[in-house]
Amino acid sequence: MSSQNDPQYVVLDITGMTCAACGARIEKAVGRMDGVERIQVNLALNRAGVTLLPQQTHIDLIKKRIHQLGFEAIERSKDEAGKSEGSSRGIWHSGLIFVVSLLLTLPFLWAMAAHHELTASVWVPALLINPWFQWALATPVQFVIGFPFYLGAYRALRSGSANMDVLIIMSTSAAYFYSHYLLFHAPDIHNYSYTEAGSLHPQHVPLYFDASAMVMTIVWLGRWLESLSKKRALNSLHQLHRLRPEAARVIQEGREQRIPLAQIAVGDRILIRPGESIPLDGEVVDGDSSVNESMLTGEAMPVNKKTGDRVTGGTINGNGMLEVSVSDVGHQSTLSKIIALVEEAQVSKAPIQRLADQISGIFVPVIIAIAMATFAGWYMIMEPGDVGGALEKAIAVLLIACPCALGLATPISILVGSARAAQSGIVFKEGRNMELLPKVNMILLDKTGTMTGSIPRVTDIWTASGVGGASTPPAPPKHALLRIMAAAEQHSEHPLGKAIIREARGMELDIPASSHFVAFPGKGIQALVEGKAIWIGTRQWLVERGVGGLVQPGAGVFKQWEQQGFITLYVAADGLWLGALAFSDPVIPDTRKAVRQLASMGMDIRMVTGDRQSTAAYTAKQAGVRHVYARMLPEGKERLVRSLQQEGYTVAMVGDGINDAPALAAADIGIAVMQGTDIAKAAADIVLLKHGLQGLVRSVKVSRATMRIIRQNLAFSMLYNAFALPFAIGGYLAPWMACTAMAFSSVTVICNALRLRKA
C-alpha cells in the first residue's frame, strides 16, 4: 500500500505535439519544475508519464506549464487504465482537412501541365493560370488549413525553441508571400500566349502559390496516414481492453441482474455462463468448469476451475456454469494492472531514445541555418539574382528534413513491441527494460515455483516416534502432524506451505486457528498453534533455534528422500522434534527446452536456491543446468548478483518468492512469474504471466526484435536526411517532392514497427 510519502506517478494525454522537438520541449520545461522527479513524453501515444515528489508539486501546475508551452494536457485517472481511447477522432479530423485542402490544390496540379514540355499538349483553362485565381485558392489553404501550423510555430518560438511547425511555416510562408509580392509588383505577371497546338502557355514571372498549397496538402496527407498507422499500432493494446465485457450478471436478493462493471463491488456474486468472458477477478463459490486463460497468459490448454479456485477477469469460461465472488474491481483487477503496466512501459523511454531526443533538440535550428545558407548560395553564386529559384531550393531543404520519422522511430516500436509481448503473457514495466534484456548474458533461475512446478505436493510424512527421553511429548500420528503444520502455514505464501494446506484439506482434516505467524525467508516459519510454538523449516535452522538433538531414527528415510530429489521440511513444537514432510517438486515440462534455447542465445544459465546441494543438483540435472548455487539465503542471492555484476556480467534474476525479492531488485533485470508473491512482482522489471520458462524465452525474442526494429528505424531516419538533404540543396527536389518524401518517411517508420505484431 502506498503512503503519502511515496512518489506520485501521473499519466497525461497531450494534444498539439507534431514532432520529437515538441516532446523534448515539454520534457525540458516540466523537468525543471520543483517537485518533478522525472517526465517522459511519448510522441507515438501523445502521452506523458510524470513522477512527482510527494507533497511538492500539484499536477495542475504541470498542466498549466504545458499549456504555456502551447499544448493541452489532460490527466488520466486510474480507472481509465482499461479505457484507452482510440484515435478515431484524430483520423477523421486530419482526413477531412486533407480532403478540403486537396480539393483546393487540384487546380494547381492541373495548371502544372502548362509548365512542362511532356504535358504541354494538355488543355488547361485560362482561369487556372490566372494569378488572382491562384492567389484566391492558395490563401485559405495557407491561413485556414495551415492555421494549426502557425499556432504551433508561434508557441514553439515563444518558448524559445523550434519544431516541425516552424519548418513548415517558414517554407510555405516564404513561397506564399514571395508570390504575393510578385502578384502586385512583377511587370509581366498577366501576359499569356498560346502554343501552336492551342494549349495555354504562360509568359510571365513564375509564382509559387502551387508550392505552398501542395506542401500544406501533403503535410495533412502525412498526418492522416500517420494517424491511421498509429491506430493500427495501438490495436494490439486495445485487444487487452476488449478482453473485459462492459457488464456482468449479478445475483442480488436471489435474482439475476445485468449491471455495468463500474457498479459492481467487492463481495458481489456474479454468474458466468458457458462461453462468456469472466468480467472481474474473484473466487469460485459454486460450479465447475474449464477456463481458457490463453488471452491473458498465452497458455493454450484450458484450466479446470472448481469451488475455491481463483479466476481472472478477461479469461473465457468453458462449458460449465460458474458463480464467482468478486475480489477485485476497477484498477485493482489483474487485467487493469496489466494494462496499466503496459501503458506505463509505452510511455517510458528506452535509453536509446535519448539519442534521438538529443539530435531532435538541435536538428531544427541546424536545418534552418542550412536552408538560409542554401538560399544565399544560390542567390549569390549559383544563380545570381534569381530570388525565386534560390527560395525554391531553401524551401525544399526545410521540408525534406522535418524530424518526424526520427521522433517516431523509438516510441512506435516500443508501443507495438510491448503490446505484442503483453499478448504473449509478458509485461514489461518500462520501455528501458526492452533495451536492457537483450544485453543480458547471465540468467539466475530460482528453483521452486520457477523451474519446478509452483504446486508441489506432499509425498511422504515421517513422525519422530521414540525420539528423545521422558521430556519428549508423545509423537503424534501422521494426520495429527499434518494438521498442526497446516495450522501453522495458514498465513504463508510459500508454495510448500500451500501444499501442506492442500494436503490437509484433501484429507478433510480440521485445521485449528493459529497466531503470531512470522516468516523467515529461506529458512522457515513460526506460529502459535493451540498454545504451542510451532517451527517449520530446514533442519539446520531448527537446530540453530535450539531444537535438541538430531532426528537419528529417520536418517535412512531422509537420505532416501534426498536421493530421490525430494524437498524436506522439519517441524518442532516448543523446541522438540515432531517429524518431517517430503515434497515432490517436479521440473516444469518445458524447462529443459527453455534452458537449451536460452543457452543457444549466448546466455549463461545458472540455478540459485535455498535448498540443499543434493536436491538442487537433482533438479538442475533434470533441467539441463550445469552450474548450481545451493543453500542461498535472500541476502546470499543478492550478494551473488552483485558479485557477478562486478565480474562484468549483465544479470537477470528470475524468481517468484519473498526470498527472491532482494536479488530481483539488485539484478540488472528482475523477472517475476505471475504465480509469485506480490513482493516479488513489485521488485521485478518484467512479469511473466505464463507458467514455465517459455515466457522468458519469448521475452528475450520480442525484446531483441524490438531493438532490431528501433535500430533500423533510427538508421533509416538519419540516412534518409543524410541522403536527401544534398539533393535538396543541389536543387534536384521540388518542394512538393521534398514534402512527399518527408511524409512517407514517417509512414515507413511506422509500417516497419508494425512488423513486430508478428514477432
Q: Is 514 helix (H, G, I), strand (E, B) or coil?
A: strand
φ/ψ of residue 442, rounded to 5: -140, 125
Q: Give the end-to-end CA distance of the chain in Å, rounded to a whole number.
A: 36
* Residues annotated catalytic, as ranges: 446
Cα 458 from Cα 456, distance rounded (Å): 7
Whether the Cβ atoms of residue 171 and residue 146 lie closer than 8 Å to each other: no
Distance of CA 693 to the CA centre of its chain: 20
- State the residue for C-alpha cell 517537485: 35
Q: Please calculate the CA angle 683-686-687 and round it to the nearest 5 degrees.
A: 90
How many angstroms separate the Cα of 735 from the Cα of each of 128, 215, 598, 732?
A: 20, 7, 51, 10
Q: Provide the b/e sequence for 130-144 (b: ≥16 CB within 10 Å).
A: ebebbbebbbebbee
Paired strand residues for 604: 442
Cα 222 from Cα 249, distance rounded (Å): 46
The count of C-alpha atoms lying within 13 angstroms of the C-alpha of 305, restricted to the half-sphere facing its C-beta, is: 31
Whether the Cβ atoms of residue 287 and residue 268 lie closer than 8 Å to each other: no
- State the residue for C-alpha cell 492558395: 138
Q: Check the CA dihedral 676-677-683-686 and report its sign.
A: positive
For the chain, helix, strand, coil in percent to 5 are 50, 20, 30
How many angstroms separate the Cα of 612 from the Cα of each of 563, 636, 638?
A: 12, 14, 18
Q: Is 54 helix (H, G, I), strand (E, B) or coil?
A: coil
Cell digits for 707? 531493438
Q: Please calculate the CA angle 728-730-735 and round it to the nearest 5 degrees.
A: 35
Paired strand residues for 283: 310, 325
What amino acid is encoded at 732 in this protein? Y
What is 401-469 written as a DSSP string?
T-THHHHHHHHHHHHHHHHHHHHTTEEESSHHHHHHGGG--EEEEEIIIIIB-SS-EEEEEEE-TT-SS
Neighbours of 78 (CB within 10 A): 12
Cα 311 from Cα 293, distance rounded (Å): 9
Q: Provide the b/e sequence for 244-278 (b: ≥16 CB within 10 Å).
A: bbeebbbeeeeeeeeeebeebeeebbbbbeeeebb
DSSP state of 552: G
Q: Is 618 helix (H, G, I), strand (E, B) or coil?
A: helix
Whether the Cβ atoms of residue 446 and residue 633 lie closer than 8 Å to each other: no
